[in-house]
Amino acid sequence: MSRGNNEEGTSFFIDSHCHLAPFWFSHKPVETALQDAKEANVIAVINSAVGARDEDKGLIDYDYSVELSQKNLGYVFCTLGLSPSMIKSLDVDYCLKRIEELVEEKHVGVVGIGEIGIDRHWVLEDSWQKRQLEVFKLLISLGGATGLPLVIHSRKAESLALDVLEKNAETDVVLHCFSGSVELGKRAVDDGYFVSIPTAVVNRKKHKKLAKALPLENLVVETDAPWLSPVEKEKNEPAFVHYAVEEIAKINEYEVKEVSKVTTKNAIRIFSLPL
């Protein structure tokens, strides 16, 4: 299996978005996965906490994610958000309060607000869609108040999410696992936003089209682990992020090292990573 090396030298990668809480990332120990990522030339991992919890273990992904970043200083970072696709099952008021508390505590590992946004795939009820918008705007404001970048979930609501961001966002924006049209992708780029290409670009046409149409200077890469694996019958993990870089290079006839260099530089700048 390729580990991110190419004939011109070693490439280095950043997984800009994954989910490492044990109740999702359960196919191998997280610390083992992080070691595997290091061996695959991944120089940083950004773990997304969205408000989920394991009641049996008393585990909340906000606290877990901050603790994981503290245990792996300078390697694992985290963003704190509230998944719009899960809004019906989350304690929204608690989530908003806890995000604000952790951001105010200025943990060195907290580098962004997200994922946040709008979901029109899993959430169809008008009342919950309205609540999504309220929460989205509140967390956009928190990003503005703190200077932290925003990581956006916009499944089947890409145009609406851009409308809201264009009116309210004051910090950098990363469109996580963006699957909108090329036209909307270009609109986001015109806004100065970044589009995150997932490892699913290996086998999904919509991501291939975006990777071809959008400028490399506006791209970062992610796994969204443990989901969207580029390897059939295997769970995704940070070590696999090189698949996204290699596919972007293949589609555009770029050198792998150039894609890794630019996407890594973008992630470092957006999230102010001390690398």
What pLDDT sits at residue 56? Answer: 73
- DSSP percent split of the chain into helix, strand, coil, nearest 5: 45, 20, 35
- 154: CB partners within 8 A, 6+ apart: 117, 118, 119, 160, 161, 162, 175, 178, 180
- CA atoms of 236 and 155, how far apart (whole Å): 20
Strands 219-222 and 194-198: parallel
What is residue 7's predicted lDDT score, i.e. its pLDDT? Answer: 40
The CATH number that applies at residue 120 is 3.20.20.140
What was the pLDDT predicted at 24?
92
In a domain, residue 81? The reply is yes
- Bridge partners, 175 (sequence order): 152, 195
For residue 4, tell me if it sits in a domain: no
Number of domains in the chain: 1
- pLDDT on residue 55: 77
> Which tokens go with 121?
């795939």
pLDDT recorded at residue 200: 97
Is the residue at 2 inside a domain?
no
Of 256, 273, 263, which is closest to residue 220 (Cα–Cα)? Answer: 263
- 262 domain residue, yes or no: yes
Q: Evaluate whether 132 touches 95 at the Cβ level (below 8 Å).
A: no
Contacts of 46 (CB under 8 A, 6+ apart): 14, 15, 16, 17, 18, 76, 77, 78, 79, 111, 112, 267, 271
Residue 171: inside a domain, yes or no?
Answer: yes
What is the three-class DSSP state of 62?
helix
DSSP-assigned beta bridge partners for residue 153: 117
Is residue 275, in this structure, part of any structural domain at all? no
pTM for the model stands at: 0.95
C-alpha–C-alpha distance, residues 221 and 235, integer Å: 17
The reported pLDDT for the residue numbered 73 is 97
Q: Is 1 exposed, middle or buried (0-12, 13-18, 19+ CB in 10 A)?
A: exposed
CA–chain centroid gap for 219, Å, is 12
Peptide bond into 226 cis (omega under 30): yes
At residue 54, the pLDDT reads: 84
- Averaged pLDDT in 10-residue chunks for the chain of 275 residues: 47 98 94 98 98 81 96 98 95 95 93 98 96 98 98 98 98 97 98 98 97 98 98 96 98 98 98 96
- Domain containing 86 equals 12-270
